[in-house]
Amino acid sequence: MADRVAVGLVTHEFFDLLGVHPNQGRNFSATEDRPGTQGVAIVTEAFSRERFGSDSALSRRIELDGKIYNVIGAIPDALAFPPGIRIWVPLALNPADRMQGGPVQLIRVIGRLGRGTTSEALSASLEAISGRSGQSWTAGSRVVILPLRAWLTGKTQQVWFILLGAVGAVLLIACANVAGLLMARGAGRRQEMAIRLALGAPVVRLRQQLLTESVILGLLGSITGLVFAAILLHALLPLIPDSMLAGRAVHLDGPVFVFTALVAFATGLLFGGIPARDSSRVDLSDSLKQGGHATMLTERSVRMRSGLVIAEIALSMTLVVTACLMARSFFAITVVDPGFRPDHLLTFSVNLPSASYPDADRQRQFYGRAIEAAATLPGIQFAGLVSALPFSATGAGRALVSVEGEPPWGAPDAERHRVESLYVSADYFRAMGITLIDGSTFAPGEMTQQAQAVVINESLARRFFGRTSVVSSRLKTGLADSPAPWLTVIGVVRDSKRTALDDDVAPTFFRPYQASTTLRSAGFVLRSVTAPESLSGAVRRAFAALDREAAMSDSQSMERRLSGSMASQRLRSIASALLALLSVAIVLAGLYGLLSYIVSQRTIELGLRIALGAQPAIIFAMILRQGLTLALAGTIVGAALSMATSRFLGGLLFSVAAADPLTLFVAAIGMLTITAAACAGPATRATRTDPMRCLRRE
């Protein structure tokens, strides 16, 4: 069978506007962007290598939909736009073409704003032009102007910024932890520093040594981090949807290594500076008099380390809350009822070449034979056709509708009358497992006679007919006085999701595919009694027997499509959970280290308390209370920080509020519980202090 490839229809100024120039050949010319001219094409270098090997693609010929195109240029893969497009051909718009109503096809326009021009002013001007067109189908049309980056990324940019912020929070937690450990290590080296200073070592040299040690520690940590990053990238890359990568390859390269080294160097200097300064500020007399006991932390140092631990807990609390919200949102999406049965459902698309199928009659004939051939395959229960597959890159048609008997409406009411439209076969609803609510669906064998019949979904019925029975009601595309024929409603089917499980169902009407004026591509849904993937080969052979030029593509089970639609939510949930777990582990290490050091510094005090009769439970509670005080303070600050940053999660959550009290409460209890567990170790060690050994040491 023929291969399906993504092709972009563009004007001749397209690449010049983007500042993209082919590495081989040239861009389109104005004369090539006219109807009836010889076909020319520009391809990506990857497509050129796959089709023509190492030879140049220039002057090669490719066939697209039965038409021959001469390749005039090849552009680098990294500059392909929109992402995923592999071939570009001239749009060749014909000004004489006029739309006659019904479903509207949109053309996206890319331009550069002139100096002093605002997007609002441009939008108003374009809407005025649209309103003067005099066509009924333009009623209520609106012009949407977006920055190109916003159109390309959508929610993706917000997701990456949130994940980048989470990574930054983990980095701050780790740096604060290391700073606390360096402070403790510096306190243990007070006598060493005192001896060096007494022997004439310059303070600057000592600080340089301590900063060097800090930077080396950061660089070693960054190397370890890069190793783990390579492992995690290999594990997580399959979970990242193509839409979030914008067609770009992701790997660890030179810029990543340089950035990591710079971050490690900067954090080593920044967070090692204060410990280095404090460690080199030594009172020679006191330090030399204390001898081997010159390891006591000053009250200021204890407060600083405690403050660092509180900050770590607060940041970690924020990440835990974010992870919990993402997990709850993802779980809520997984239990959403799509409105159809996704199990045992094989889906794929078929694209017909325009040369072999130039009109609707030939297209309908092929689809009729294809449905019959698919339905007779072993293991197939029902075979259905739809103009746009659910959960695919193909969107449903858009149309304005008028309902018989309603008052006349105009442009201000257009949004309410804008609905989606689909062409389907008789068994589409049975194949999908979509429940019939009222009336009937299209009858096999009577599709031609039912060309003016229409089936609507619950959302459309609620919007225009309320709770009354809608069977035998009539509607038409366009305004009430448009020449489009009236369509009779014969049934109402249950709402079903089409694009994403967390999106609202759009009001939709369904018409027999025999009523379409053109249907160059269509989707097929096959209900099977066995695993749907096992039938893919047989289906492909059956369609190849009908016409080898008909390109069959995007073959996968509906369950896989549903899983793919949740890829972004799944990635956000897993990534935020990993970052939260990493932050908690770092926090626990920091809290454990701080309390362990405090216990080691209070050994003599603890020994005296035990010698004077203090019970182990009292000693345990004293150390535990000190740790939990820090944990409680950090949790409170973290809860406030979570509330303040929750607004950045807007639009990424489903069925859960960004400032959800239950999530906040559960995260706080969890944080206090695990920090209590971290405090238990040093507290237990404190209860085992030997008083006699402490007294002999003193």
**pLDDT tens-digit map of 541-553:** 999 899 888 888 8
pLDDT at 333: 92
pLDDT band at 92 (very low <50, low <70, confident <90, very high): confident
- Look over the chain and give the mean of its residue pLDDT values, rounded to a whole number: 83
pLDDT at 391: 92
**pLDDT tens-digit map of 440-492:** 999 887 666 677 899 999 999 999 988 678 898 999 988 878 888 899 999 99
Per-residue pLDDT, averaged over 62-89, amounts to: 85
**pLDDT tens-digit map of 283-329:** 555 555 555 444 445 566 677 778 888 988 999 999 999 999 999 99
Q: Which residues contact 674 (CB under 8 A, 6 or more apart)?
A: 584, 588
Per-residue pLDDT, averaged over 612-638, amounts to: 89
pLDDT band at 102 (very low <50, low <70, confident <90, very high): very low
Q: Which residues contact 369 (CB under 8 A, 6 or more apart)?
A: 546
Domain ranges, ordered by start, for the chain: 7-97, 155-334+567-697, 353-549
pLDDT band at 100 (very low <50, low <70, confident <90, very high): very low
Q: 155-188 and 567-601 are packed helices; what angle lies between their axes, rounded to 10 degrees?
A: 10
Most confident of 62-71, 97-106, 502-511, 638-647: 502-511
Percent of the chain with pLDDT over 90: 28
Give the Cα separation of 477 and 470 in Å (integer). Answer: 17
- The residue written with tokens 């073409």 in the block is 97
489: β partners? 454
Find out whether 356 and 366 touch, Cβ atoms under 8 Å. Answer: no
pLDDT band at 104 (very low <50, low <70, confident <90, very high): very low
Judged against a pLDDT cut of 80, whether residue 83 lies above it is answered with no
- The residue written with tokens 């997990």 in the block is 327
N-to-C CA span, the chain: 89
pLDDT at 638: 92
Give the Cα separation of 336 and 113 in Å (integer). Answer: 42
Give the Cα separation of 155 and 419 in Å (integer). Answer: 24
Judged against a pLDDT cut of 80, whether residue 359 lies above it is answered with yes
Give the Cα separation of 578 and 92 in Å (integer). Answer: 50
What residue type is 335 in one-letter code?
V
